[in-house]
Structure 1
Amino acid sequence: MMHADLIDQEDLLGQLKALGLQIPSGSTAQQACECAVRGLDTVRANALRKLVKDMYTSSATILPAVRQAIDKQLLPALAEYQQTHS
C-alpha cells in the first residue's frame, strides 16, 4: 500500500510551534495562521516565508484546509508586511 506525504492541520501547527510561535493546542489551521501573523517582525516574517516556500515546493500534498489558511491568512499578511517594511 502506498502512503502519500500529506501536510495536515497537525503538521502545520507543529511547524509553526517549531518556529517558536505560541499556537494554542487544538487550533484550526486558520486560527494557527492568524496567531502566526500577529506581531509580525522581520525575523518572524522571514521564517514564515521560508516555511511556506518549503511546504509549497515539497512533494507533499497540502490538505485543502491548510492551503486555504495559508492563502487567506499567511500570504496576505506577509505581503502587507513586506510592502510596509521595505
Structure 2
Amino acid sequence: MMIVELIDGDDFRDRLVALGIRIPEHACPETCARMALRKHMEVGVPGLQELVREMMGKTDVLLPSVRAAIERFLLPGLR
C-alpha cells in the first residue's frame, strides 16, 4: 500500500511563510493566496512563481481548497 502526503492548507501556508510572506496561523488557503498575491504585487516575492508552478504540477495531491485558491488568486495574478 502506498501512502501519499496530501498538501493541505497548513502546508500551503508553511511554504508561503518560508518565502517570507507573513500570514496568520490557521489562515485558510484563500487568505494565504490573497496575502501572497498582495505581497507579490507590492514588493515581489522571489520563488513564488516557482512554488505555484511546483504545486500545480502536483494537483493529484493538492487538497481542492488549496488548488482552488491558487487557481483563483495566484495563477491570474502571476501572469
Query: What SS does the aligned partner of 1:6 have?
Result: coil
Q: Is the radius of gyration larger for structure 1 or structure 2?
A: 1
Aligned to 2:38: 38
CA displacement 1:31-83 (0-9 Å, x = unmatched): 01000011425741x5211001111224861110000000001111112xxxx
Contact 1:4 1:60 in 2 (8 A): no
Give the number of equivalent residue pairs. Answer: 78
50 and 42 in structure 1: CA distance in 2 versus 1, 3 angstrom threshold: farther
Task: Name segments (4+ residues, structure 1) moved above 4 Å.
Answer: none
Percent identity over the alignment? 36
Aligned to 1:53: 53
| Structure 1 segments unaligned to the other structure (5+ residues) | 80-86
Contact 1:5 1:59 in 2 (8 A): no
Instruction: Quote the Cα distance in structure 1 between the aligned partners of 2:12 and 2:18.
Output: 10
Contact 1:8 1:66 in 2 (8 A): yes
How do residues 56-75 of structure 1 correspond to structure 2 at under 5 angstroms? 56-58=56-58, 61-75=61-75
How do residues 67-86 of structure 1 correspond to structure 2 at under 5 angstroms? 67-79=67-79
| Structure 2 segments unaligned to the other structure (5+ residues) | none
Greater mean alpha carbon deviation, residues 25-34 or residues 56-65 = 56-65
Aligned to 1:15: 15
Greater mean alpha carbon deviation, residues 2-11 or residues 26-35 = 2-11
Instruction: Quote the Cα distance in structure 1 between the aligned partners of 2:56 and 2:34.
Output: 19
